[in-house]
Structure formats: C-alpha cells, structure tokens
Amino acid sequence: MRQSVALHHASRLVNHGPTVLVTTEHAGRRNVMAAAWSMPVEFTPPRIAVVVDKKTFTSELLQASGRFALCLPVPALADLTYRVGSESGRDIDDGGDKFARHGIVVFAGPELGLPLVEGCCAWLELRHLPEPHSEQAYDTVFGEVVSAQADARVFAQGRWSFRDDNVQLHTLHHLGGGAFAVPSRVVQATLRAD
C-alpha cells in the first residue's frame, strides 16, 4: 500500500513529532539509527532538521554521501527502533551491519536509492544541506526532501488518518526508556481550516 506523497505534503509526515529511523549508505556501507529529535523547518521546499550526534556512524555516512533517509516506524517495530537507537553500526566487526544483524528488510528509495525499511508507515529521502556550524554546535542536520512515500491506509491526500482499524500503522513517539506513545486519538479544533 506504499504510495508516493506530493513533496508539498512531505512536512505533514513528521509534523506531529514521530520518532524516525535514519538510514544512510556510502560506498557499500550502510547504517540505520533511531532519532527522536526531528522537525520540519519549511513547507516548500520541504526541509527537515534532525539531530544526529556528530560522533555516530550515521553522521560519518551522511557527511560522506550527502544524503539520508527517514523511515517512520510503527508499533510492531518498537523493539527494533529501540535497539538500533542503542547500538552503533561501527561496533559490528564481522563485515555485517545492523540491517543484517536484525533481519531488517529494505527497498531502494525512488530518488536516491537509499535503503528504506519495509514495514514502516512513511519514508522520506533527503539531500543534505551542509550547515557546519549547526552541526558542530547543536548536532542539528538540515536536509531537503526529494522523495516522500506513505502507506495509503494511514496517510492519503496529504493527511494522516489515525483510526481504530489501522492502529498497526500509527507512528511512534519516544517518551524515553523505550516507552513510545502512539497518537491513536484525534481531536479536531472547531475552527477548522485547510
């Protein structure tokens, strides 16, 4: 049920603060980590900031390749999300990587060919916008979205639709210590607008 999302709707995918899996690939090496800290910074062009510790393997691959992807995990991936956020791909010394270690199935991103995690509910590929000062001082990395996709059962026509019949596709929002809130209830302001 994976469908393309118009780029002017891409910021909606992360507007509500989900935890993301950051994937990277460079010269045959690849990695995946979890990041609770990301946010859109611009609708058009769609730009996102994400905090990636400059000491991580992800940062190394991101800086070397100039690209990264964000995948939005769902409740069934809570364990995996917590694990890949708690270990470094650098520590895997048998020639494997975190994808192999955890049996993570990926597909290739449509624009940049980045490894995107199967079973997530949304996927974005981004070109890195180098900002040495923000990266150095705040570990804050900026990127511009060049492809966006979502599972049409939970995101369609530019909107999330969190319902009782699709709870398995809701996003995860890290509370700390491996506890994730799931945004399963929705309230609508009466002063509605689009």
Binding site for its own copies (CB under 8 A): 12, 15-18, 36-42, 47, 49, 51, 75, 78-79, 81-83, 86, 131, 133-134, 137-140, 142, 158-160, 162, 167, 170, 172-194
Please give the single-letter amino acid code of residue 56: T
The DSSP element (H or E) to which 135 belongs, if any, is helix 132-138
For residue 130, count CB atoms less than 10 angstroms from its CB and return exposed for 0-12, middle for 13-18, buried for 19 or more: exposed
Q: Is 29 or 92 the residue whose CB approaches its own copies more closely?
A: 92
For residue 144, the tally of other CB atoms under 10 A from its CB is: 16
Name the minimum Å distance from CB 158 to its own copies: 7
Phi, psi dihedral angles at 123 (to 5 degrees) = -145, 135
∠ CA 86-90-92, rounded to 5°: 85
The DSSP element (H or E) to which 123 belongs, if any, is strand 122-129
Q: Is 110 or 183 the residue whose CB approaches its own copies more closely?
A: 183
Name the minimum Å distance from CB 131 to its own copies: 7
Q: Is 27 or 186 the residue whose CB approaches its own copies more closely?
A: 186
Name the minimum Å distance from CB 122 to its own copies: 13
Tell me if 99 sits within 8 A of 93, measured CB to CB.
no
Q: Is 26 or 173 the residue whose CB approaches its own copies more closely?
A: 173
For residue 3, the tally of other CB atoms under 10 A from its CB is: 12
Q: Is 87 or 118 the residue whose CB approaches its own copies more closely?
A: 87
For residue 184, the tally of other CB atoms under 10 A from its CB is: 13
Q: Is 13 or 61 the residue whose CB approaches its own copies more closely?
A: 13
Name the minimum Å distance from CB 76 to its own copies: 9
Among the listed residues 69, 18, 63, the one whose alpha carbon sits nearest the alpha carbon of residue 180: 18
Name the minimum Å distance from CB 49 to its own copies: 6
Name the minimum Å distance from CB 69 to its own copies: 18
